[in-house]
Each structure stands twice: as structure tokens, then as C-alpha cells.
């Protein structure tokens, strides 16, 4: 039985997700982190609906929409035509900066609910732009009415909304998020090195992470309001790795159009050890945003669907902590991975 997934937002990460489903539609395992999660393989995931407000994508069949402007994600594979046509999406006035001047194709939350029901979707994956908090809540409500689980990949803090959480629990549906954490992006790299320093007895005093990238998501994130909100989420996430207070900052600093969907993260760490001798680390990481999200999305989707089938519902803590920067109950990344793997990875 396929895991029927609907996408809210057909941006760069959605493009790579759809390509990844094609790439791993057979027995290919190259680059695949977890071939089997909760008894499911990637080929068990099926995209049955997609929503977006960008008129350049709405009305297009999905295999064309994922490569339509302003998407700049690399084309890894050719995608065959599907039965999915991108429909208009939800926008409650919180339009992303990169859509300024673009004609929008809006639908009501009720229309999206109807579309989800018609498609038979089990889970709605929210991949709309950063800064769209009201629209994220509307998508969650649409999923709730349609009887779908909801995965929030955006920095909007849906799981901090007590009323929304209670409504999903009452409906016996999973609510998972917030803010997807890449497989080996800036946040997990920052957390990992901090955790290693603490384990090796280094007294960490300061760290920072500065991200520079291309693509519409980075363009949106340099908006001052969105930048500070996202910085708060990232900074809180990395600080969780150190069991005492220290100074740290993590966030996006600039947009470079020709970088496409790639990102460079710069890190600096300082601390002290034996007889207070100093230790300093200065390093950078280069990665591709969409591809960095693929394995984690595969895992989260499959684990969330399994929870729906066995009745483990509401805010599923181990999935949230494993795959997201701002889970309801923060965990250090090793603990989160260990719990997730013990329950879902085979």
C-alpha cells in the first residue's frame, strides 16, 4: 500500500524530493541513508497532490512544475509525467519576498481540504516559504479537516500552537515539525562539533554559524523579520548540545543568486582545556539544500505514516527531535537519532 503524500509548496526541496522518488523507484541504494524505515522503502511514497501560489507553477503537471522558475535545484533525473497537476495554494497575506510582483493563484483552506480528500492523501508535507506562519496554520487546518497527518518543514512554530496540537490529538492524527533539519547541513554540523567538544572535555565559550546561499529560500531569509525568527530557531537548536550557557549565533547572512540551490556555511568555535589553554576551530561547509533535505524527508514521511497506522499519534516526539530544529521537546542529536533508529530503522 503506497504512502500517499501531498505537497504544500513546490520549491527546490520539493523538486529534489520528487526527483529522489524517481531515482529510488527501483532497487537503487546509492546515497540512500536508510533504505528501510518502519517497513517502507522510498518507492512506497507516492505524490498524489501539490499546491503552490506561484502562477508560474499552478496548472502545470508536477514533472514540469518542479523545474519551473524560480526553482534552481539541479536536475538529477528526468521525471515521467504523472497524474498530479499543481493547484493553487493558501496565502493569508504573508507572501514570501521572492514572490513580490508575481501573480498569485490562491485557494481557500476549505478548497485545499477538498483537494486533499479527492486525492486520497494520507499526509500533507508543508514546504512553503519561510515567514508564512498564518498560511502554515491554514494548511495544517486543511489537513486536519481532510483527515491527513501534517509535517511542517518550515520555521513557523506550528507545534507551539497549543490549540492546533490539541485538535490534532483529538482527531488522532500526527502533527510533526518544526523546521526540517538537513542530513548534513549547517545546523547538524554545528550541533555535532559542539557535542564532540563537550564530550572531549572542552569548555566551549563561543561559536557562530554564518550561512550564504542562493535560491528563493535564502532570498526570503535575508528579509530582516524572517532572518531574526529563523536565527532564533537555529541558535536555540545548536545551544541544546551544550549543557551550560555559552555565547552562540547561527543564521543566514547573505544571498548570492549564482549559487543556485547551494549553500556555504562558515563556523567558528572557541573554548578552553587543560590549564585553560585555548582551542579554536575555524571551518566551512559546502552543501546543496534540496539534496540535503531528501534523506531526512524520506525518513520522516515513512515514520509518520507508520505512526498513523499503529495509532501512535499527536506530536510524535522522537520523529520531531530526529528531523527538525525546533521539536516540542529538544534533544541532543545523538539521543534523538538513537531513539528514532531504535523505533523505525530496519
- Comparing CA positions, the residue from 85, 131, 126, 97 lying closest to residue 109 is 126
Top-confidence residue, 224 or 8: 8
Please state the rounded mean pLDDT for residues 211-232: 88
pLDDT band at 230 (very low <50, low <70, confident <90, very high): confident
Domains, the chain, in order of start with CATH, read 3-181+291-344 (3.40.50.720), 186-288 (3.30.360.10)
Task: Please report where in the chains the cell 486525492 appears, as a residue.
Answer: 119
Residue range 25-38, pLDDT digits in tens: 999 999 999 999 99
DSSP one-letter string for 205-217: EEEEEEEEE-HHH
Other Cβ atoms within 10 Å of 231 Cβ, number: 19
* pLDDT reported for residue 221: 85
Check pLDDT > 70 for residue 186.
yes
* pLDDT reported for residue 227: 86
**Burial (0-12, 13-18, 19+ Cβ within 10 Å), 232:** middle
Other Cβ atoms within 10 Å of 249 Cβ, number: 15
Beta partners for residue 263, in sequence order: 213, 287
Model-level pTM?
0.94
Check pLDDT > 90 for residue 146.
yes
pLDDT band at 16 (very low <50, low <70, confident <90, very high): very high
Residue range 271-302, pLDDT digits in tens: 999 999 999 999 999 999 999 999 999 999 99
Grid cell of 295 as nine digits: 534523506
Check pLDDT > 80 for residue 314.
no
* pLDDT reported for residue 320: 96
Please state the rounded mean pLDDT for residues 177-198: 96
Check pLDDT > 90 for residue 2.
yes
Amino acid at each position: 500500500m503506497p504512502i500517499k503524500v501531498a505537497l504544500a509548496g513546490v520549491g527546490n526541496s520539493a523538486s529534489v524530493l520528487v526527483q529522489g522518488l524517481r531515482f529510488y523507484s527501483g532497487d537503487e541504494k546509492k546515497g540512500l541513508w536508510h533504505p528501510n524505515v518502519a517497513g517502507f522503502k522510498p518507492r512506497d511514497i507516492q505524490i498524489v497532490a501539490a499546491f503552490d501560489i506561484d502562477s508560474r507553477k499552478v496548472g502545470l503537471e508536477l514533472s514540469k512544475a518542479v523545474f519551473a522558475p524560480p526553482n534552481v535545484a539541479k536536475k538529477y533525473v528526468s521525471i515521467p509525467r504523472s497524474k498530479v497537476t499543481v493547484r493553487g495554494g493558501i496565502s493569508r497575506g504573508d507572501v514570501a519576498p521572492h514572490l513580490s510582483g508575481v501573480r498569485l493563484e490562491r485557494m481557500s483552506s476549505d478548497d485545499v481540504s477538498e483537494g486533499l480528500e479527492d486525492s486520497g492523501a494520507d499526509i500533507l508535507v508543508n514546504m512553503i516559504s519561510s515567514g508564512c506562519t498564518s498560511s502554515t496554520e491554514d494548511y495544517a487546518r486543511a489537513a486536519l479537516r481532510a483527515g491527513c497527518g501534517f509535517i511542517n518543514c518550515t520555521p513557523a512554530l506550528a507545534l507551539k500552537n497549543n490549540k492546533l496540537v490539541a485538535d490534532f490529538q483529538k482527531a488522532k492524527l500526527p502533527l510533526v515539525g518544526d523546521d526540517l533539519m538537513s542530513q548534513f547541513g549547517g545546523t547538524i554540523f554545528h550541533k555535532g562539533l559542539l557535542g564532540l567538544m563537550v564530550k572531549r572535555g572542552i569548555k566551549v565559550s563561543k561559536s557562530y554559524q554564518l550561512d550564504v546561499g542562493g535560491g528563493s529560500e535564502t532570498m526570503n531569509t535575508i528579509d530582516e523579520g524572517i532572518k531574526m525568527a529563523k536565527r532564533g530557531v537555529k541558535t536555540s537548536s545548536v545551544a541544546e548540545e551544550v549543557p551550560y550557557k555559552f555565547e552562540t549565533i547561527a543564521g543566514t547572512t547573505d544571498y548570492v543568486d549564482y549559487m543556485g540551490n547551494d549553500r556555504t556555511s562558515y563556523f567558528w568555535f572557541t573554548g578552553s582545556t587543560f590549564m585553560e589553554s585555548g582551542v579554536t576551530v575555524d571551518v566551512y561547509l559546502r552543501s546543496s539544500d534540496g539534496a540535503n533535505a531528501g534523506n531526512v524527508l524520506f525518513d520522516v514521511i515513512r515514520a509518520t505514516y507508520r505512526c498513523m497506522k499503529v495509532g501512535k499519534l499527536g506530536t510524535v516526539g522522537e520523529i520531531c527531535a530526529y528531523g527538525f530544529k525546533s521539536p516540542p521537546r529538544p534533544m541532543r542529536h545523538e539521543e534523538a537519532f538513537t531513539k528514532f533508529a531504535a523505533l523505525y530503522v530496519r
